[in-house]
Amino acid sequence: MINLKNLNYKELEKFVLEKGWQKFRAKQIAKWLYNKKVKSFQEMTDLSKDIRQTLEKECEINSLQLITYQQSKIDGSIKFLWKLKDGNTIETVLINEKNHKTLCVSTQVGCAVGCRFCYTTKDGLIRNLETSEIVDQYINVQRFLGESEENRISNIVYMGMGEPLANYENVKKSVQIFTHPDMCKLSHRKITISSSGILHQIRKMYEDKDFPEVKLAVSLNASNQNQRAYLMPISQTNTLEELMELLRSIPLKPGWRITLEYVLIKNVNDTPEDAKRLVNLLKKDKHRFKVNLIPFNPYPESDFERPEENRVLAFEKILWDNNIATFIRWSKGRDIAAACGQLRKKELLQIDV
């Protein structure tokens, strides 16, 4: 069975033509999948009965089953738990911002990167998600919310379970679907891919002419190489020096900046000395970057602690005093274990799936 949401627009056109149908049928099918967000082929009423029967026999369009969801009583964020066709589970988080809604999507079941402070990586990597499984997180949550303007999801961040660039082809294809004018029609500037800093994959993304231009966020989390290699084992081979050299060289659209994510961990990387080292790391190219400070979100059995608010504010002040754009991401969804670094499949919801 072919899941049609595994196909980008060119592939969908090819599929249609191979069936002997007119090319415009691809646009019709895309409309039903991504605009109408239908659940069955029989709802595609402007397709002939024969076409619908063929699609029913050879294709599928659903890849996720909603098991349950939880909504934060603090900020309204919603965490969704999905069951995949092979029985694995993933999580997606809807974040209610002041004037828009952001969806944090997962790209893998588990994660192999091994960051010491992240709960997701405790299970290791089980498998990559298919394109359809990434796209259906958006489709299903938007369907859950309804199609009114106030409920429209405008922003997608690839910051859920997994390392997006380790699932390069499926992430690329999902971005193509999200941004295509005949598919999800989302703005390029409203999509952000987060990476732990896999150098060759970041370079590949910027050299790949078929990869739509979207924003990049990189997990930095340290002000020197030894510290980063301790927190993020990937830095042992993708060093901080090499990472910064690459980030200084990649082309950026006017007005765009690279986001550097910095998880603040008590007595590990949250001192004034850390902030000053970070200033020195960024000061030559401060116009290329903005820094998101994320106070660590504790989870069961964690070896680390969340810093006090005054330490977070002091760290932020040092960066702003040196004209480095810095923003504190006070975590959303902490009461439902939906905050940064807390996603970890069904265990967090303590239910049997």
Strand partners, 261: 219, 292
Q: How distant is the alpha carbon of residue 172 from its chain centre? A: 12
**Both tokens assigned to 66:** 């909603």
Residues 6+ apart with CB under 8 A from 181: none
Q: Which position among 13, 91, 130, 163 bears the catalytic label?
A: 91
Q: Any catalytic annotation for residue 91?
A: yes
CA 149 → CA 10, 153, 256, distances in Å?
29, 9, 26
Q: Which position among 111, 115, 118, 340 bears the catalytic label?
A: 340
**Is-contact 348 337, C-beta < 8 A?**
yes
Select from 300, 289, 273 the least CA-distant residue to 327. 289
Angle between helices 131-145 and 168-179 (to 10 degrees): 40
Handedness of CA 157, 161, 162, 168 (dihedral sign): negative
- HEC string for 31-80: HHHHHCCCCCHHHCCCCCHHHHHHHHHHEECCCEEEEEEEECCCCCCEEE
Residue 2: its H or E element: strand 2-3
Q: Which residue bears the tokens 């001192």?
A: 271
In this structure, the chain runs to a length of 353
Q: What is the set of active-site residues?
A: 91, 340
